[in-house]
Amino acid sequence: MIVSETADKIKRMEIRGAGRIARAAAEALRDGALSSRAATTESFRMEMTQAADTLLATRPTAVSLPNAVHMVMAGIKKASTVEEAKAGIVTRADEFVTSSQHAVERIAAFGSRHIRDGDTIMTHCNSEVALACIVAAHREGKEIEVFATEVRPRNQGLITIKTLNDAGIKTNFIVDSAVRSFIHDVDLVVVGADAVTVNGAVVNKIGTSQVAHAAVEARVNVMVAAETYKFAPRTILGELIKIEERAGSEVLPDEIAKTLPNVTVRNPAFDVTPAEYVDLIVTEKGAIPPQMAYVIIRDYLGWEIGEFGDPLGGTGGLNGS
């Protein structure tokens, strides 16, 4: 698929979910590199930088996207010929996709250990990796039940209940505003993440912080499933994660909105759950308390903060490479 096609699909959320976006971006860079007709290393580098820019401009919140782009673009760094540069991109992209898939499998294995036989779990939105933990627990023979939210306005809850249903897991589908009404029936909240900051705050689908707040109030544990490439190195510098605000028409049809001139529809796609509301973050390297997020950034994403200033040119900052 050509890069602009993938970028459009990510923007329209035809490809969605932080992990899937990252893998799709890596694959698009690989395909872009393979189909490039650039004659010189310099023109190839420029072409790829433009492609990376197009992908980075699609959605601002999920850090998995810039992390994946950085890791793949690092393949160009030492190349002195177009062939070497192409091979560098292809190798890095394939490595990213494979390691991302393995990460999901490992998190499922680690995360399911924290789900007990007889647990009732609440999940919000549609997280591939959170669901992998839940499905793994079920496959291990644990009897579990799930409360899944609707997730207005894009209704990702429908994808979640299909997965749970197909896995044969007893599931309750609730509107987002029913979370607090059911939280006392729940033993564990399991959600995914679009970004994890250095201080352990979790950026995830809008409403996650309300779910976590209700859980804390009801003394229910909150577990976040997140691959290491969802941790945000630049938050070390105090940079904030940009929260995407999507079109109001996702919430209220334009025909209705235009009859209400005094009403502005606000549609933030994500919110921030503070570290204090999170008990555990399960990564493919193991489970950590959120306060230890800096260790993941230090050990697996590298400390070479200076290089993060140039996301496409100085691509060597991630993965310590």
How many other β-carbons are positioned within 10 Å of the β-carbon of residue 18? 29
Q: Is 19 in the site for ligand RI2 (CB under 6 A)?
A: yes
Which listed residue (204, 235, 273, 319) binds ligand RI2 by CB under 6 A? Answer: 204
**Helical H segments across 187-247, by residue range:** 208-217
Beta-bridge partners for 224:
191, 281
Nearest CB to ligand RI2, comparing residues 16 and 234 = 16
Task: Give the amino acid at 90.
Answer: V
Task: Establish whether 194 is a catalytic residue.
Answer: yes
The CB-of-130 to ligand RI2 minimum distance in angstroms stands at 6
Which listed residue (194, 279, 284, 307) binds ligand RI2 by CB under 6 A? Answer: 194
CA–CA gap between residue 190 and residue 242 (Å, rounded): 23
Q: What is the largest CA-CA distance in the chain?
A: 64
Q: Is 23 in the site for ligand RI2 (CB under 6 A)?
A: no
Q: Is 123 in the site for ligand RI2 (CB under 6 A)?
A: no
Helix/strand/coil for 14: coil
Task: Establish whether 125 is a catalytic residue.
Answer: yes
The CB-of-181 to ligand RI2 minimum distance in angstroms stands at 22
Catalytic pick from 125, 187, 254, 271?
Answer: 125
- 120-123/202-205 β-pairing: unpaired
Q: Is 129 in the site for ligand RI2 (CB under 6 A)?
A: yes
The CB-of-254 to ligand RI2 minimum distance in angstroms stands at 21
Catalytic pick from 31, 119, 194, 279?
Answer: 194
φ, ψ for residue 154 (rounded to 5)?
A: -95, -5
Contact (Cβ atoms closer than 8 angstroms) between residue 206 and residue 268: yes
Which residues are marked as active site?
A: 125, 194
Binding site for ligand RI2 (CB under 6 A): 16-20, 125, 127-130, 156, 191-192, 194, 204-205, 269
